[in-house]
Chain A
């Protein structure tokens, strides 16, 4: 070894100790610092309780071994179901009912009187029949023409399976015009708030501009303005000229609903958390959010990405369950929950205290710092400035500095 190389190695050696410390987890907090929060289950028990209360099967996180599919596969009652629905799954209908359904659905594709009669008969079917119809829609077993006809029958119905079935059409029909019509039906009223997460997820994958506009409207009808970014994109570069105008109209309609002067004002209010939704989460929506939080632990990132997207698109009421998730025993749930809060920006202000506490847990501290940076708050800023200077972990120092950048 030459002298030069030797000295380089000596310097390297001197720095190595700090090097390896730099990039390995921070040492446990010094006694002076607050103790890391104790971990506690943030969703599993509540999911079971809610499922029991609602009489529906409890959703489970897909296991690593579960087959990959284009849609989240969830294990319900020991059976693989294509998509979990927070509704009581009725006993399988008997063969006669299925046959009747088949006949009615087949008649839907026809024209004239036969079709009118079929629609009337379908409308008269009891809930269990609709539950199984919804499953068949989800599985893609019905033709677009039949689905289109069903929308009419469904729009008038009451009961939870109505929204579930419309949602399944908006999610699964291969014909964009029919998806748009289903979403349009869902935009007509504020019923069934629990569909908000699935509307947000559908919007993430939607390619058809008309459907996207209707999905954004259906969200807004339920006080969720997560769809306005999509409306902006469509207004700027519509697939067809008239859709640009429709997107602008929808933006104006959303602004009016939210009591804001214009789209810019709506954006600001949605982002900074000024648009509070005061009503309590309906149990089905809470369950829907908690199951997404549980999904943050999934091995497959597609589930995590979707859950993160859904949770981050929520109004400020999602901050509380996400704050609890910062102390979940599962590290992936903790970190990804903090990332959701970061993406919620001002709407996450309800999680402020929990985030400050999480700065003392080295396994989530960096992600918590990022979240604090996205909430415009003096206390958060002061704490970030302190950590940027004096945190013992370089990871946290770097995260705090990044979070403080304008």
Chain B
């Protein structure tokens, strides 16, 4: 966010945090009774830490997932002023989804915040309902698995991922009609073990983003045409968190070796604005849709390259001269030439 777009309220929040950093920065286990051992001690593993002893494989996948980072991710900490902005706790350190209810929003918790979206956040069943963990089937295992079909439902993910209509976008897509749900794409079954992965790749996984979107360019009678299509995402591209953006650029192709490389020129941005960006409209690309753009011929330009970049923070360092190679991630690149 550029300085001029920063609301004064944000500055107020920032000023207040400077004083709080000391007390908020070090994650701690508040639920531990006074005098208990350090949190790393196996003997006092509790909450989601206890699951690791028997579900080491799942634990390992989860530990590398965005969910494990929800409270410690440096970008989240920066934007939330180390969670001095308590509005950010709700989904980044939530109570169990099953406690607030499927189809409801989650609420913040007090204990084990540093674990972010942990096992209990998704699996924990309320003590009032007998406790145990939500699973695909009832089981006699020590963790008391209880069959809860809602565990795998999009509305479960929607407790945190539906502030910007992701579940509705999915429902309106062909995937919704086919019953191919969030977990089919984000928790694929490992053919070796027959189990679903908890690594939950998203915008950070290049291969997944590449599979979401197609980029084509062709030469028409009097202009170049660029086409982007959302072919693989089960929702808009991008979706959810408003900081994500997909940008299409073009530039003349340097056809001779050693010729200077031209600067990228912007064609189209796919992004939903933050609520204070009242001048912008939602340009995210719905599932299954395509958009075409015409680029006029220019004298002396016989070939062009077109590229699609994915950006996890919305603003360019220099909006007048964006440098996607340095500030975003290349997803696709195509070339077209005049015959």
A residues lining the B interface (CB < 8 Å): 5, 8-9, 11-13, 15-16, 18-28, 68, 70, 174, 203-207, 209, 212, 229-230, 232-234, 236-237, 299-302, 305, 308-309, 331-332, 335, 339, 366, 394-399, 401-402, 405
Q: B110 contacts A24, CB within 8 Å?
A: no
- 9 nearest CB pairs, A to B: A398-B30, A12-B53, A394-B31, A398-B110, A24-B127, A204-B9, A19-B50, A233-B11, A19-B46
Q: Which of the segments B62-70, B118-126, B208-216 contacts the partner chain?
A: B118-126
Would B127 and A305 count as touching, CB distance under 8 A? Answer: no
Is A20 touching B124 in the complex (CB atoms < 8 A)?
yes
Q: Is the CB of B45 within 8 A of A300?
A: no
Query: Could you list 21 A-B pairs, sorted by A, with CB under 8 Å?
Result: A5-B53, A9-B53, A11-B53, A19-B49, A20-B120, A21-B131, A22-B47, A23-B47, A27-B128, A28-B128, A70-B275, A204-B9, A206-B7, A206-B9, A229-B15, A233-B12, A299-B105, A300-B163, A308-B87, A335-B107, A402-B30
The CA-CA distance from A8 to B143 in the complex, in Å, is: 15
A207 and B4 contacting across the interface, CB-CB below 8 Å: yes
What separation, in Å, do the CA atoms of A15 and B41 have in the docked complex? 13
Pairwise interchain contact A23-B131, C-beta atoms closer than 8 A:
no
Instruction: Give B4 Cβ to nearest chain A Cβ, in Å.
Output: 7
A84 to B9, CA, bound (A): 23
Partner of B90, one of A23, A203, A301, A396: A301
Instruction: Give complex CA distance A207, B9 in Å.
Output: 9
Name A16's closest neighbour in chain B (CB-CB).
Answer: B50
Q: Considering the chains assembled together, what is the distance between the CA atoms of A11 and B30 in angstroms?
A: 21
Instruction: Pick from A13, A23, A301, A302: contact of B120, CB below 8 A.
Output: A23
Alpha-carbon distance A264/B236, docked complex (angstroms): 49
Q: Which residue of A lies closest to B118 (CB)?
A: A23
Asked whether A15 and B99 contact (CB < 8 A) given A205-B7, A398-B30, the answer is no
Across-interface contacts of B45 in A (CB, < 8 A): 11-12, 15
Q: Give the CA-CA distance A332 to B104 in the complex, in Å.
A: 10
Quick check: B7 and A22 within 8 Å, CB to CB?
Answer: no
Q: How far is the CB of B200 from chain A (nearest CB, A)?
A: 20
Interchain CB contact under 8 A, A8 and B90? no
For B23, give the chain A residue with the smallest CB separation. Answer: A405
- Closest CB in chain B relative to A328 CB, distance in Å: 15
For the complex, give the distance between the alpha carbons of A18 and B127 in Å: 11
Number of A-B contacts (CB under 8 A): 148
**Once the chains are docked, how many angstroms separate the CA of A332 from the CA of B100?**
9
Give the interface SS of chain A, mostly helix, strand, loop or mixed.
helix
Q: B105 and A203: CB pair below 8 A?
A: no
Compute how far the CA of A229 lies from the CA of B16 in the bound complex, rounded to whole angstroms: 9
Contacting pair A23 B132 (CB below 8 A) = no
A9 contact set on B, CB distance < 8 A? 53-54
Whether B132 lies near A20 (C-beta < 8 A) is yes
Which residues of B36-93 have CB atoms within 8 Å of chain A's CB atoms? Answer: 42-54, 86-87, 90
A365 closest partner in B (C-beta): B110
Q: Cβ of B142 < 8 Å from any Cβ of A?
A: yes
Docked complex Cα distance between A11 and B42 (Å): 8
- Assess the A21–B127 pair: CB atoms within 8 A: yes
The verdict on B164 contacting chain A, using a C-beta distance below 8 Å, is yes
Is B5 in contact with chain A by the CB < 8 A criterion?
A: yes
Kindly supply a per-residue 1/0 record for chain B positions 14-25, scoring 1 wherever the CB is within 8 Å of any chain A CB and 0 otherwise: 011000000100
Which among B5, B23, B100, B164 is the interface contact of A207 at CB below 8 angstroms?
B5
Which residues from chain B contact A402 at a C-beta distance below 8 Å?
30, 110
**Once the chains bind, are A23 and B163 in contact (CB under 8 Å)?**
no
Given contacts A20-B120, A23-B96, A302 and B275 within 8 Å (CB-CB): yes
Instruction: Answer whether A395 and B31 are a contact pair too, CB < 8 Å, given A19-B46, A24-B127, A24-B131.
Output: yes
Residue of A nearest to B6 (CB): A207
Measured between alpha carbons, how far is A126 from B10 in the docked complex, in Å?
41
A20 contacts B131, CB within 8 Å? Answer: yes
Q: Is the CB of B111 within 8 A of A394?
A: yes
Residues from chain B with a CB closer than 8 A to the CB of A18 are: 46
Contact of A209 among B8, B96, B164 (CB under 8 A): B8
The 8 A CB mask of B124-145 against A (1 = contact, 0 = none) is 1111100111000000001110
Whether A230 lies near B42 (C-beta < 8 A) is no
Contact present for B100 and A331 (CB under 8 Å):
yes
Closest to A8 in B: B53
Given the interface pairs A20-B131, A24-B125, the reply to whether A15 lies near B8 with Cβ below 8 Å is no
Cβ of B112 < 8 Å from any Cβ of A?
A: yes
The docked-state distance in angstroms from the alpha carbon of A155 to that of B53 is 70
Q: What residue of chain B has the Cβ atom nearest to residue A234's Cβ?
A: B8
A302 to B12 Cα, complex, angstroms: 19
Which residues of chain A are near B51, meaning CB under 8 Å? 12
